[in-house]
Structure 1
């Protein structure tokens, strides 16, 4: 929450500096164009001038911050036009009411004042200014979003390159592995069908992990679910079907099945639960929950911690999942890790 507040503050300060510079430049231009005396008659003198200038800068900063970062950038990312139009209409209605009160109630100009405009002229001018403000905000929001997408694509390409280099460094010839597994499967199929099935599962899981996916390293949710279930089944075979696992899945629509997720993201979290969790406690089962709609994916894995000696772990898998989710979804996702002395939980929410 603190990091997010700092990010907001930085965005506001950038807009404040730009808008202040622009306002000063515009004021100086007016003085040069029509003279100091005429300009001061329009904007006021003494303390009134400072009040009006500060009010203009603060109001402009707030307006552009809300338009760019709260309305337009989310619109560009989500394409939710209905929500954006309603929010925009509400925002400009509130803004126009505020400006009317400021100009006609707080400033309370007289018809004889040089800066006085009639309510009809005010509303016409406000509408034209709002249109200009929207166009400027759209321009900057598009630039900011394009820049973020370019940086994210560059980071994803770098991460992909690192992953490829790591695979080259640590891989054993996959053809040798699969040929060996095929041989073991054939030899054990008649004497031990369950062992043969386990070998077959292992072969499919490894093929999934080593396969070349799209440039972002993503797969349809349905495929990730399929191999996650194979990992669960493989572990049940390893432990003679004695594992206490509670699995719940709810897929609302077929659209959710084809939503893309990072390869092995869910599988990695499930493997971690089997690696570090207490697997034989009926009251504290390994819990796996998956819910998906066309707009959101929710995934949870929780387990009671295993007592006694722990398997060595560098946390590389979990760190990789966090990093890939951040690069792919940014603010559209959350990844919570909750842990105490006895329990461990991972929770992912992705807004599509």
Structure 2
């Protein structure tokens, strides 16, 4: 809505400037008195000037933003062609009544224009404004594409920087974890198991998937459970977690770490010790739908720092993978936080 108002105001400002320029040109060409007579006498002079500016701005706004730009982007010639024909038909009928029933001079006046002349003039002007609208639509679309390319370049550089950050030698990391696991296995089996879980979770997170980072649901669920187990070990198995799972078909694909991220956020920001408000994790998967819900009571006191990129990343990849076939809902109030994903297969 805000963008539409901005477009309307820009069109109005540009057309007003253009109208003033044309008016001044006509004054210089044929004189002030003659030019004013063409717009009417008395109060009709101001009405006609305002009407001309508002009507012109509206016409160009519709033609550029609702017909020409969608035509360039979608190439739906037939649909938009019919819309354009309907728009110009309504516009011509409106202008006819305005000129001949509201503001026109009488047939006996020197300034009278016949209906045939009006229709011919209207047709020529319609052709002209179509070309003008397409010209500006091409410029606007080109600018949008240029900005989009620049944004994609920025995102690409950011992704490359992130890749560099994560290129701390994984072999060194996993070798170190393997060493710690071996050293602690005999003296503290639970700590050794935690190290093993951490190693497997990080291996999964750093693995090379396809460009969208999609994995089988079964694999994502497996590592989500490891994250739950890892957190239980961290908190001496005192976390209040209610887990429900019903999977009829686990051959579907989901974005890597999508479910893991939501669970991690619940452990990071939730109140994990409230007997009456467990962290709830609910997963159902059928041949037609995947449903996943994570809810938690919010933790009181200082919050752990967060850059807020996890949820945004999940949203973007769900959109790329499933488009309108999915919904990702975030609900929260003062006490509770809920994430809900529905994917129609």
TM-score (norm 1): 0.64
CA distance in 1 between partners of 2:340 and 2:79 (Å):
27
CA distance in 2 between partners of 1:78 and 1:168 (Å):
38
CA distance in 1 between partners of 2:55 and 2:278 (Å):
58
Report the alpha carbon displacement of residue 124 of structure 1 after superposing the two structures with TM. 3.6
Q: Pick closer, same or farther for the CA change 1:133–1:149 going to 2, 3 Å.
A: same
Q: Pick closer, same or farther for the CA change 1:31–1:135 going to 2, 3 Å.
A: same
Gaps in structure 2 of 5+ consecutive residues? 186-192
Cα-Cα RMSD: 5.2
CA distance in 1 between partners of 2:297 and 2:178 (Å):
35
Alignment equivalent of 2:297, drawn from 301, 305, 311: 305
CA distance in 1 between partners of 2:89 and 2:283 (Å):
47
What's 1:207 paired with?
A: 206
Secondary structure at the counterpart of residue 308 of structure 2 = helix
CA distance in 1 between partners of 2:266 and 2:136 (Å):
45
Q: Which has the larger radius of gyration?
A: 2
CA distance in 1 between partners of 2:260 and 2:109 (Å):
72
Task: State how many pairs are aligned.
Answer: 315
Alignment equivalent of 1:234, drawn from 212, 226, 242: 226
Alignment of 1:46-65 (within 5 A): 46-65=42-61
Q: Pick closer, same or farther for the CA change 1:19–1:225 going to 2, 3 Å.
A: farther
Alignment equivalent of 1:286, drawn from 265, 281, 299: 281
Alignment equivalent of 1:151, drawn from 137, 147, 150: 147
What's 1:125 paired with?
A: 121
CA distance in 2 between partners of 1:40 and 1:317 (Å):
61
What's 1:29 paired with?
A: 25
The answer to whether the Cα contact below 8 Å between 1:227 and 1:267 also exists between their aligned partners in 2 is no
Report the alpha carbon displacement of residue 274 of structure 1 after superposing the two structures with TM. 4.9
Alignment of 1:163-182 (within 5 A): 163-165=159-161, 168-169=164-165, 172-177=168-173
What's 2:39 paired with?
A: 43
Secondary structure at the counterpart of residue 153 of structure 1 = helix
Report the alpha carbon displacement of residue 340 of structure 1 after superposing the two structures with TM. 1.0
The answer to whether the Cα contact below 8 Å between 2:281 and 2:295 also exists between their aligned partners in 1 is yes
Gaps in structure 1 of 5+ consecutive residues? 189-193
CA distance in 2 between partners of 1:158 and 1:227 (Å):
32
